[in-house]
Each structure stands twice: as structure tokens, then as C-alpha cells.
Amino acid sequence: MEDKKKLLEYFKKDRYIIKNGIEIIEITDNKAVCKAKVTPEHLNAEDVIQGGMLYTIADFTFAVLANYLHGKTVTQTAAISYLRPAKDCLEIRAVAEELSATRHNCVHKVTVTDEKGQTLVIAQINGFIF
């Protein structure tokens, strides 16, 4: 496992995540939780949260947990299901949980919800562990 403090410092350098307002809320041996307040910049022409923002928070939350559990890990493949339009949301929250891991691969499930607890996205992300 990575030192939590060093990992948090490392991710503070992620300019894309900072620009999108994503924050790490919790890291444990079982899950990682991140959140973002929804701003007008996150919305598409239909005033729905852009799918790319939902993917970004899912992928980042995966990265937080995978790098904590396994050290340097990158996304290898991802499958994402958008379950409902993310409209009129004030905040989104992502929770990553590891489903399995081998020497060089891990699989995580990431669930993205709104502030009412409605599931917006479910993603399965496979990581390559260096």
C-alpha cells in the first residue's frame, strides 16, 4: 500500500482534476470516495452533466484506490454505463471498490451518484499494475 499522505500530495498535482473541482474524500483498504460540486462548466447544451465529467470522476476515483492498494497503476480498459441523465445535480460522488487483483491487473467497480443518492453511472475499470 502507498503512504496515504504521499498519495494525496501526488494527486494534488493533477491539474485536470483540480480544474474539474474533483476532491478526494476518503481512501481505505476497501474503497475510495471522491466528489465534485457541479458547476455550469460541467453541463452540456441540454444542461445535463457532460458524460466526460462523469467518466472523469469515475476514472480518477479508480486511480486513487488502485494506486493506494497497488502502487503505480493505470487504466487499461473501462466500460461505463450511463443509467440516467445527470440533470439538476448539485454534487456528484464516486465510490470505487476493488473486485479482484492479480500481480499486474486489478478490476474495480465505480458507482457515481448524485446528492440524492441516485445512481447515475456504473463503471468497470481494469488497471495495469506496474
Residue-level pLDDT at 112: 98
Distance of CA 23 to the CA centre of its chain: 10
Residue-level pLDDT at 3: 85
Contacts of 57 (CB under 8 A, 6+ apart): 20, 22, 34, 35, 36, 92, 94, 112
Contacts of 61 (CB under 8 A, 6+ apart): 32, 33, 34, 94, 95, 96, 110
Fold observed for domain 4-129: Thiol Ester Dehydrase; Chain A (3.10.129)
Angle at 100 between CA 72 and CA 26, to 5 degrees: 60
pLDDT digits (tens, 9 = 90+) for 3-41: 889 999 999 999 999 999 999 999 999 999 999 999 999
Specify the residue for cell string 471522491: 34
Residue-level pLDDT at 2: 66
CB 71 within 8 A of CB 3: no
CB atoms within 10 A of CB 69: 21
CB atoms within 10 A of CB 128: 15
Span 53-68, average pLDDT: 98
The domain limits of the chain are: 4-129
pLDDT digits (tens, 9 = 90+) for 72-124: 999 999 999 999 999 999 999 999 999 999 999 999 999 999 999 999 999 99
Q: Cell for 60?
A: 480518477
